[in-house]
A and B are shown apart, each in its own frame.
Chain A
Amino acid sequence: MSVINQALPQTAKLSNEEVLRYSRHLIMPEVSMEGQLRLKQAKVLLIGAGGLGSPLALYLAAAGVGKIGIVDFDVVDVTNLQRQVIHSTPDVGRPKLDSAYEHLKSLNPHIDIVTYETRLSSENALELFKDYDMVADGTDNFPTRYLVNDACVLLGKPNIYGSIYRFEGQASVFASEQGPCYRCLYPEPPPPGLVPSCAEGGVLGILPGLIGVIQATEVVKLILRKGNPLIGRLLLLDALEMKFRELKLRKDPNCPMCGPNRTIHALIDYDQFCGIGPEPAPPPGLSEFEIDPVELKKKIDRGDKFFLLDVRELHEVDICKIPGSYLIPLGQVPARVSELNSADDMVVYCRSGQRSGKAVDFLKKAGFRKIKNLKGGILAWADKVDPSVPKY
């Protein structure tokens, strides 16, 4: 199945240095000189230089993909290094594109790396995508996933898809001219407000490596026109079980994007599509249901009688805690509300103040009035009160 249609120009040639570099490709019949020249001629756009983007970029650069574009606007954070292997410790604080560019150039000086320091949007996606043969999606949010899909369908370019959660991953190739698109698989994103639990999350650092390398493999196969691409197939990986499963994907005849009676003919507002409205501005100062870490410290030092409730998950307590707190993970608060006394003066905290804010909202509705959320959570506590507390 040929997804890229350009003919190989007669003039394309490898230098002697390139011949030596790619010799392990050139001696295998599935690549050979023709395939290596196809790789050299190929142009692949990566959305994101993070967990999936790192292995994608590294392997595609090493393989000799002639032009690699990367869209990102983030800065390297120390918590990225557990999985985003294109960045190193000295890169913390630098734009991800800078460290990715340097790393890739030093890996393979024979290829073009083009960086786009911008947030992918409905305004710029078509313009960014049009010069590339295919797009590999390494984003981490629903609006961008639908945007990448729709732009790829509109331009007729394959979208090499990968997605991860904890130790589970999905991969596929959405090439709407040959098979289904992302909307055929999932017509709509989850609505806001169905957050199972904010404490859920995390990712095994190796997992984006596994899924990103599957994406890179699919990119290379499409360029080489070899093998059987993941078109019309959804690959599921459970890394804990180390089991791969494959599900059939079908082109949805009613797909609003790629079906015969499509209703979407241009890019839309993807935040709105995903139900994300503009964020209301936080009220200035502290509300009556908030407490500052410094104020909490004074309260403790004064020996005030109050109840300190930690709504994080059990495994987070192993990382750090504020002494004297009582643990009820947010998801269990409704069922365990009887363990709490609404007459008590109460302070609730979590990591950053978001989950505890939800707990406070819930408990207020349940009749608790003497309750405050620790603003900024244990992170702010570490910043303002106790620097020996590790941040995570």
Chain B
Amino acid sequence: MGVKVVIPTPLRQYAGKNDSVIVEGSTVDEIMRNLMSRYGELQKHLYTEDGKLRSFVNIYRNDEDIRYLDREKTPVKETDVVSIVPSIAGGSALETGEHGRAWLQPCRTAQQQGGFSR
């Protein structure tokens, strides 16, 4: 048994293409550590080098942002769902990614061209 963690589309490529993963743990911190020990590539997308949760990534326990609970120490039960919700910027574009301003940093060229909903 464990807790269901919902993986957002942009991060699924770093989590074995899963849309959700069951992870053991009784706090958000334990769950995230266990998740990243299974999928190491997630680490740099979720945490800064000094171990802080990135400011464009929010974590929710059910429908509550853990910033307004007990942050990473927030307790989690097996009936809870933990969601990772990163910021996405797309308005339509994203094309094949090279033009994309998809999640995280879009490619420089497209960014420089500016524009709406390319």
Contact = CB atoms under 8 A, between A and B. Distances in A.
Interface string A152-175: 000000000011111110100000
A48 B60 CA distance: 31
Given A140-B94, A245-B83, A352-B98, A196 B10 contact: yes
A351 B96 contact: yes
Contacts of A249: 65
A141 B63 contact: no
A36 interface: no
B34 interface: no
A140 B104 contact: no
Contacts of B85: 170, 234, 236, 247
B56 interface: yes
Contacts of B18: none
B117 interface: yes
Nearest to A192: B105
B12 to A, nearest CB: 10
B60 to A, nearest CB: 5
Contact of B96 (A191, A193, A316): A316
Given A248-B63, A276-B111, A202 B95 contact: yes
Contacts of A197: 13, 97
A166 B9 contact: yes
A51 B115 CA distance: 12
Interface residues of B, number: 52
A50 interface: yes
Contacts of A203: 90, 92-94
B116 A49 contact: yes
Nearest to A51: B92
A391 to B, nearest CB: 11
Given A48-B91, A190-B54, A74 B118 contact: yes
9 contacts: A140-B117, A165-B90, A185-B58, A186-B58, A194-B105, A196-B10, A203-B94, A245-B63, A316-B96
Interface of A: 47-54, 71-74, 77, 79-80, 83-84, 119, 137-145, 162-168, 170, 185-203, 208, 234, 236, 238, 241, 245-250, 252, 275-276, 279, 316, 331, 350-352, 354-355, 392
**3 shortest A-B CB distances, which residue pairs?**
A50-B117, A51-B92, A201-B97
